[in-house]
Amino acid sequence: MFTSLVLLALSAVATPTLGASYSQSDSFSGQGFLSGFTHQAIADPTHGRVNYVDQATALAQNLTYASGDTFVIRADDTTVLSASGPGRNSVRLQSNKQYTTHVSVWNLRHMPQGCATWPAVWEVGADWPNQGEIDILEGVNDVAPDQATLHTSADCTMPASRSQTGTSVGNNCDTAATGNSGCGVQAPSTNSYGPAFNSAGGGFYAMERTNDFIKVWFWSRTAGNIPSDVLNGATSINTDNWGTPFAFFPSTSCDLASHFGPHSIIINLTLCGDWAGAVFSADGCPGDCVSYVNANPSAFSNAYFDVAWLKVYQ
């Protein structure tokens, strides 16, 4: 019996911790973004008034800047555009690695602000929408709060009532059924997005993805409840200690395993386009979105991300 108890104890010690504990697999800061991510010089899939440039161009024009623990990507703020020419130079980065079950944590000091801006931090599969999309940080035209959204193929919905602090703005994640709106959740705090976010010195966004659920959290830089492992960028984390997320997407009526494939991480800034352009006037911005972008380069002096770091845990 003693031998059996010893074996049981050893077995318990040897069993890996399951569930909410993760170890850091990747850390990006400063120059690390230049080697860990690719500048995507592609046509904007959301039809924005931008011209995404390659890394050499971005560095030469100071649209991408990396030094120490500072990494900045921004839109051009000096050029008056021709109506018949390409859009305003901007940056879209995609991670060179892909991830399935993981946690990503962003430490952001500043996000793009201003009319026409549409900044986003998100994750997406190569076969869209069949491998899914998770928007972590997204909004337009300085209208708070942040919105976290899933975009999927058919047969993926969310329960109307679930454990989150945010407000659902749609429970059908199917892009075809929702005009690509997906199933979004708005964060409860206005300082989760735009000028109020920047005035507070930024903050932290975190997303946990498993086959059972997807969760998104936000903590303002000035919040008193930032988990220590998030605040310090620890090498191991336990999401069970992070409190109720503002967005919770359970697998109750959506088989997450089949709707989400390996994801690349993306951070980008577009202007106008399918969302920001469509609500430009309704959001209190002047005139026509594309004309505004063309004629007012100085309006984009604050249209930049300043990233302290991104850490990924698996």
d(CA 261, CA 270): 25
CA distances (Å), origin 228, targets 29, 208, 241: 19, 17, 10
16: which DSSP letter? P
Active-site hit among 77, 123, 133, 142: 133
Enumerate the β-bridge partners of residue 302.
none
Residue 291: count of CB within 10 angstroms of its CB: 14
Please say if 133 is a catalytic residue.
yes
d(CA 159, CA 163): 10
Peptide bond into 262 cis (omega under 30): no
Cβ pair 304, 89 in contact under 8 A: no
**Cβ contacts of 53-58, under 8 Å, gap ≥ 24:** 53/89, 53/90, 53/91, 57/89, 58/91
Active-site hit among 38, 47, 138, 251: 138
Please say if 208 is a catalytic residue.
no
d(CA 84, CA 120): 27
The catalytic site residues sit at 133, 138
